[in-house]
Structure 1
Amino acid sequence: MNISETVKRKLSLGARILQVGGVEKVFKQFFSVREGERLLKVSTTSGPLAGLLFISTDKVAFCSERSMKVFTQKGHMLRIYYTVAIPLKKIKCVNHQSKNVQKPKQKYIGIVTEDNFDFWFMGIMKYQKTMKYLEQAVSQA
């Protein structure tokens, strides 16, 4: 992906966030939020599946920047956003030593759940700050 396409996608994402009314409203639009749950940090991600990574007092959640085409069993096309929500209490460990070998500045966050599923979030912007919030949220869960 070239720089102009990246800028165009980020502007589109910013416009969608403004249209909905801010990142907290985007979070509530895509994920169930319990009473008292607070949003701690939002980071943007880049790579093959760019989007928003949310860290709250209850979960780590991801929503893709763009919708994807999926087909129903009857062959009807739907456009959906790819979303993942991982309860903090189900996180066994966070792998923060992951780097892209070809692009060392591009770092990944790997999360392993209690049932040994791996989730990788790629191209995290503001990596150090995001890791700080993630580690703090997991330790307090």
Structure 2
Amino acid sequence: MDYNNNNPYLQLAPVPPAATNGHGTNGNRSMGKIYEALNRCGKRVEVATKKAEVYADNIWHHFKVSPSLADAAMARIAQGTKALAEGGHEKVFQQIFEVLPGEKLLNSYACYISTSTGPLIGTLYVSTKKVAFCSEYPFCYYSSTGQQQWMHYKVVVQLDRLRSVNPSSNRVNHSEKYIQIVTTDGREFWFMGFISYDKALKQLCEALQQSRGSSGAKFPEARSS
């Protein structure tokens, strides 16, 4: 795991022990609820338009990125439930991250971040001041003293530290799409498994253009990797 190895954009946010409830492991999840949710989704797709079918394909790809289908499905259910309970994604954003004066959330996107131990499921937030990611589940972290802690994996990049936004795709399977963001000091972060890839890419590019005070910049084309 990419712990705090002198990376100024990486934050490990501790959570109360009661908040883990097995979320740090694959645990026993209610598969009945997952199958029921997927079944409802399938029934909608049967009568949906082509646009909805593409959206359903994106959801399935989003689930497949995770080592555990159960974890991915439950993460999306939990994220949606939390947003409803807190009064919207902006309220959740304000609770997770330090909000600067005048900062507004533009949008949020379900996705994964690439780490040295594999993809972590979570949400990417794009605001008028920053690009930020927070993992859906906490993970077990051992401090230098050997103390066990449960932490959320968070990345925060202020827009004035964002150098580029680069789309790419798998050469063999073009449905596997990625977004790389690069900071002004050369740090790279890779995101994948988006449910709304095109919208996320467009939003990130617009945020980058706004931070540079430019307009009319070309939309970057995806490259194969």
TM-score normalized by structure 2? 0.57
Q: Percent identity?
A: 39
Match of 2:164 in 1: 93
Determine if contact 1:106/1:124 at 8 Å carries over to the other structure.
no
1:1-141 aligned within 5 A: 1=67, 3-46=69-112, 48-96=119-167, 98-101=168-171, 103-141=173-211
1:44–1:85 distance in 2 versus 1, CA, 3 Å:
same
Q: Which runs of 5+ in 2 are unaligned?
A: 1-66, 114-118, 212-225
Structure ranking higher in helix proportion: 2
For the residue of structure 2 that corresponds to 1:66, the secondary structure is coil
The offset of 1:85, in angstroms, is 0.6
CA-to-aligned-CA distance 1:79-107 (integer Å, 9 cap, x gap): 111000111111111111x1134542121
Provide the aligned length of Structure 1 versus Structure 2: 140
Greater radius of gyration (CA): 2
> TM (normalized to structure 1)?
0.88
Higher strand share: 1
Cα distance in 1 between the residues matched to 2:175 and 2:108: 20
Paired with 2:209 and 2:153, the residues of 1 have a C-alpha distance of: 27
* Helix, strand or coil at the partner of 1:44: strand
Backbone CA RMSD of aligned residues: 1.8
Aligned residue for 2:82, secondary structure, equals: helix
Instruction: Write the distance in 2 (CA, Å) between the matches of 1:74 and 1:19.
Output: 37
- Give distance in 1, aligned partners of 2:87 and 2:149: 25
Amino acid at match of 1:16: K
Q: Distance in 2 between matches of 1:65 and 1:104?
A: 26
Q: 1:125 Cα deviation (Å)? A: 1.8
Task: Give the letter aligned to residue 95 of structure 2.
Answer: Q
Give the Cα separation in 2 of the matches to 1:99 and 1:38. 30
1: CA distance, partners of 2:86 / 2:142: 26
> Structure 1 residues 133 and 17, CA, compared in 2 at 3 Å: closer, same or farther?
same
